[in-house]
Amino acid sequence: MKRLFWILCGLSLALLAWGFYEAIYIAPTEATMGDLQRIFYWHVPIASSALIFPYVNMVASIAYLFMRRTNHALSQKLDALANATAEITVLYAGLGLCTGMLWGRPAWGIWWAWDARLSSFLMLFLLYVSYLLIRRFSASNQAPVIAAVLSVFAGIDVPIVFESITWWRTQHPAPVLRGDGDLDPTMKVAFLWNMLAWFLWGCTLVWARYAIVRREQQIEERAAMEALEA
Amino acid sequence: MTYLRIVWLHLRKDLQLEWRSREAVAGMLFFTLLIAVAFAMAFDPTGYPAMARQMSGGLLWVGLLFAATTSLNISWERERRNQVLDAHRMSPAPPSALFLGKALANFLFVAFIEAVLAPVFIVFYNLHPLGEMKWFWLILPLGTWAIVVNGTFFAALGLRSRNRALMLPAVLFPISIPALLGVTQATTAVITGDFEPGMWVRLIFGFDVIFTTACLLLFGTVLNAE
């Protein structure tokens, strides 16, 4: 398993480098925005990945809620996975917001607009910050259950985030892969490479955090066992 | 006993407790009133009637949301005294009935606050609603339920955590933002008469249905969290 992790880590780093090369040197310059548009190759993959990890978090949390009485070992793993994905969601949503603001300042002339997509993305970020907060504040024996329940609620909120762009009129550009947006084939290739790279990098980070959380759980269990035996 | 009867018993118990102490309703009433006064001092609504129309809907709901968080913690605090919560956990009655009874009681408390404070808002902010007032009969109950159903649930979620008072707003506000957006927009639509509130009312209604279902399904898990 350890070797597999390093393979994934190396692969995603190589893909990140390749994606960077594609986005900066291969993809053509966009007609109206110029080089400014190139941030799209990082902003959209990061922001889209930030919408995938919450679902992993929700699935792991639901599975945890079902398993916690019957299969202790598996439920501990699921809880660690939920914890790790929530942290990476916060990281990616934060990065998505930052890159979006970097683009918004020159393109719109303002750092932040209270339009639907931006505010709902901020909401996604806040939701998972509150998830991490509740994990920290809850008593340690209930924190997994309470966090799992909150994760289900947050997961229900995510589709509202995703559909918001069609519900509300908005100044955020139309989604490029579905809907009316149109993308040059070379741009699409560069975009897809970056999409893959950032998604795999996210998975690498989740795996790393998962391994650390598992170690922490094992240390805690061992300490509890020792206290019982002493 | 049927499910509805258990819900009614919980509701009656909560109403009775509140009737004896009147601490939650009185606290909320005064708190919301103070928010209305503080904002009136900050923005001078009588001098700028157009701006007052734009803002008062949002102020009313933000005030109610803040006030509701104070009372929601009180409503579960009652169950902690004398280990009542453990008794609930052991009783064969469905946990969701306890939740529904308490959510309905909180709904009635907040609705009472609205009934008292809506005229106060109209007087303080010198409001003449330009849209159709009948929408309020939909917006007020749906919006109140949206705040109260999630609030009651998350107050229960934080029951055994170290900093309860901090945790409820930290969890409730992010989840409730779509509902808060919906109610403030719908209320502003009615007060200004600029646009139709129908779409926003549908949003709140959908939010209510989805989250009421989720709360009822998951409350048992929260009550028995170990």
Tens-place pLDDT, residues A81-119: 999 999 999 999 999 999 988 888 888 888 887 777 777
Nearest chain A Cα distance for residue B120, angstroms: 30
Residue A130 contacts B where some CB pair is shorter than 8 Å? yes
Q: How confident is the model at residue A164 (pLDDT cuts 50, 70, 90)?
A: low
Query: What pLDDT shows up at residue A165?
Result: 47
Query: B218 vs A167: CB contact, 8 Å cut-off?
Result: no
Rounded Cα distance, A76 and B182, in Å: 38
Residue B80 contacts A where some CB pair is shorter than 8 Å? no
Tally of CB atoms within 10 A around B180: 21
Q: Which helix (H) or strand (E) holds B221?
A: helix B198-223
Query: What pLDDT shows up at residue B216?
Result: 92
Interface test with A, best of B153, B218, B219 (most A CBs within 10 A): B218
Angle at A138 between CA A135 and CA A139, to 5 degrees: 125
What residue of B is the nearest CA neighbor of A125?
B174
Give residues with Cβ within 8 angstroms of A123, minimum separation 6.
Answer: A157, A161, B174, B177, B178
Amino acid identity, residue A199? F
Note the Cα B70 to chain centre separation in Å: 10
User: Number of helices and strands (H, E) in chain A?
Assistant: 6, 0
Say yes or no: ipTM exceeds 0.90.
Answer: no
Nearest chain A Cα distance for residue B178, angstroms: 8
Q: Which residues of B touch A167 (CB under 8 A)?
A: 203
Amino acid identity, residue A187? M
**Among A104, A82, A83, A87, which Cα is nearest to A36's?**
A104
Note the Cα B217 to chain centre separation in Å: 20
- Residue-by-residue DSSP string for A25-77: IISPPBTTTBGGGGGHHHHHHHHHHHHHHHHHHHHHHHHHHHHTTT-HHHHHH
Tell me if residue B61 falls in helix, strand or coil. helix
Using CA atoms in the order A139, A140, A141, A144, what is the torsion angle rounded to 10 degrees? 100
Q: Pick the residue with more confidence: A169 or B158?
A: B158
Amino acid identity, residue B130? L
187-206 of B, contacting A, C-beta below 8 A: 203
Tokens of B97: 């009935």
Angle at A75 between CA A73 and CA A81, to 5 degrees: 110
Query: What pLDDT shows up at residue B105?
Result: 93
Note the Cα A205 to chain centre separation in Å: 10
**Among A102, A91, A84, which Cα is nearest to A39's?**
A102
Amino acid identity, residue A143? A
Q: How confident is the model at residue A170 (pLDDT cuts 50, 70, 90)?
A: low
Query: What pLDDT shows up at residue A117?
Result: 73
Interface test with B, best of A141, A152, A157 (most B CBs within 10 A): A157
pTM, 2 dp: 0.84
**Among B138, B106, B98, B140, which Cα is nearest to B121's?**
B140
What residue of A is the nearest CA neighbor of B214?
A153
The percentage of residues in chain A with a pLDDT greater than 70, rounded to a whole number, is 89
Cα distance from N-terminal residue to C-terminal residue, chain B? 28
Query: A146 vs B163: CB contact, 8 Å cut-off?
Result: no
Tens-place pLDDT, residues B112-130: 988 888 888 888 887 777 8
Query: Residue B158 — φ and ψ, nearest 5°?
Result: -90, 5
Tens-place pLDDT, residues A12-54: 999 999 888 888 887 777 767 777 778 888 888 898 888 889 8
Q: Which residues of B touch A127 (CB under 8 A)?
A: 174-175
Rounded Cα distance, A18 and A194, in Å: 8
Rounded Cα distance, B17 and B21, in Å: 6
Query: A142 vs B174: CB contact, 8 Å cut-off?
Result: no
Angle at A95 between CA A167 and CA A133, to 5 degrees: 85
